């Protein structure tokens, strides 16, 4: 089985991916900034791209997930610079280091459906053009930063990930407190599209792409059943058996979060995982009600 190394291995997606890949029999290593003495750790400096080349030679594929959280708060100029630097430059440094190996590994690099910008009701897939706005620019820079590996002939997959639904993390964790109190509801007018994916399906899709030698280029990683924000909030209310009627006005979101409100919370991407489906990937949780029940059942069990 291939040996896989992950950046961001302790994060919401990274920790779940480690479990998934280990359960499938892969040897999984972690890129770490400190405490690299452990047998499963590879020393990595994101600012320079310097890595432990001896350990990196053992790796067949790298899953690059590391990056600043774009929804952690208002986008000050400092915050925007941190978001940008943790993606484009850090990814390019990493890829330049990996490209120096005699046998460069495959790379599966996280990106985001923010690549498409705010597109209203337009149906988006891998052939759709890049959008406009801060997140579209960042995602484009992020993807282009993988060029040093691609130029060496390494297999590169770009994972355009939507809202990830899973236990104890991500957007769902932030939504649960108000919804459990019965004071959740649509954001803005609720008509913006939400393209989502269950955490289990995202991990399975990454595992699928690791072992699919023909897979290269962009892959939209979302369920084939996007919903509007209003439909999403209604589904979450049903799953929790709580009302979901109290809207959050757009003007209030802009007051609280500034530019980030339009870039993340009010932005609309109606995306379709065309290339994943064409490659033969099967979703375990394509239906939103099922995905929410599964995630919430796991949380209740804990």
60 exposure class (CB count in 10 Å sphere: 0-12, 13-18, 19+): middle
> Is the Cβ–Cβ distance between 100 and 153 less than 8 Å?
no
Q: Which tens digit of pLDDT belongs to each residue from 210-237?
A: 999 999 999 999 999 999 999 999 999 9
d(CA 258, CA 250) in angstroms, rounded, equals: 11
34 exposure class (CB count in 10 Å sphere: 0-12, 13-18, 19+): exposed
Residue 300: the pLDDT is: 47
Sorted by where each begins, the domain ranges of the chain are: 3-301
Kindly list the distances between the CA atom of residue 236 and the CA atoms of 172, 180, 224, 272, in Å, as whole numbers in the listed order. Answer: 9, 10, 18, 21
> Is the Cβ–Cβ distance between 117 and 137 less than 8 Å?
no
Longest distance between any two alpha carbons in the chain, whole Å:
58
Q: What is the mean pLDDT of residues 23-51?
A: 91
Residue 65: the pLDDT is: 98
Taking the C-alpha atoms of 285, 177, 228 and 76 in order, what is their torsion angle to the nearest 10 degrees?
Answer: -110
155 phi and psi, to 5 degrees?
-80, 125
Residue 302: the pLDDT is: 43
Residue 298: the pLDDT is: 53
Residue 128 has pLDDT above 60, yes or no: yes
Q: Which tens digit of pLDDT belongs to each residue from 155-171?
A: 999 999 999 999 788 89
In terms of Cα–Cα distance, which of 164, 163, 167 is closest to 295? 167
d(CA 168, CA 151) in angstroms, rounded, equals: 38
Residue that the structure tokens 């939103």 belong to: 288
Q: Which tens digit of pLDDT belongs to each residue from 13-23?
A: 999 999 999 99
Pair type for strands 227-228 and 3-7: unpaired
CATH fold for the domain made of 3-301: Rossmann fold (3.40.50)
List the alpha helices (DSSP H) in 122-192.
134-144, 147-151, 170-180
């Amino acid at each position: 089985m291939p040996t896989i190394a992950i950046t961001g291995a302790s994060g919401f997606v990274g920790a779940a991916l480690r479990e998934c890949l280990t359960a499938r029999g892969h040897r999984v290593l972690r890129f770490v900034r400190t405490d690299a003495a452990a047998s499963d750790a590879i020393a990595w400096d994101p600012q320079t791209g310097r890595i432990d080349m001896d350990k990196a030679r053992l790796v067949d594929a790298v899953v690059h997930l590391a990056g600043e959280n774009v929804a952690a708060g208002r986008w000050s100029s400092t915050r925007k610079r941190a978001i940008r630097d943790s993606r484009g430059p850090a990814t390019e440094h990493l890829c330049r280091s990996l490209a120096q190996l005699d046998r460069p590994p495959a790379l599966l690099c996280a990106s985001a459906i923010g690549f498409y910008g705010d597109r209203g009701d337009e149906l988006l897939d891998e052939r759709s053009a890049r959008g406009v706005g801060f997140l579209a620019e960042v995602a484009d820079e992020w993807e282009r930063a993988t060029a040093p590996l691609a130029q060496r002939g390494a297999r590169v997959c770009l994972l355009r990930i939507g809202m990830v639904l899973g236990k104890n993390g991500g957007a769902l964790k932030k939504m649960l407190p108000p919804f459990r109190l019965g004071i959740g509801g649509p954001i803005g007018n609720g008509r913006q599209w939400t393209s989502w994916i269950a955490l289990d399906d995202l991990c399975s899709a990454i595992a699928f792409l690791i072992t699919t030698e023909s897979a290269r280029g962009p892959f939209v990683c979302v369920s084939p059943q996007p919903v509007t924000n209003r439909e999403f909030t209604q589904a979450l209310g049903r799953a929790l058996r709580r009302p979901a009627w109290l809207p959050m006005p757009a003007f209030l979101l802009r007051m609280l979060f500034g530019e980030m409100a339009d870039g993340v919370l009010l932005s609309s991407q109606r995306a379709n995982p065309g290339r994943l489906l064409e490659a033969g990937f099967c979703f375990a949780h394509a239906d939103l009600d099922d995905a929410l029940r599964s995630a919430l059942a796991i949380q209740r069990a804990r």
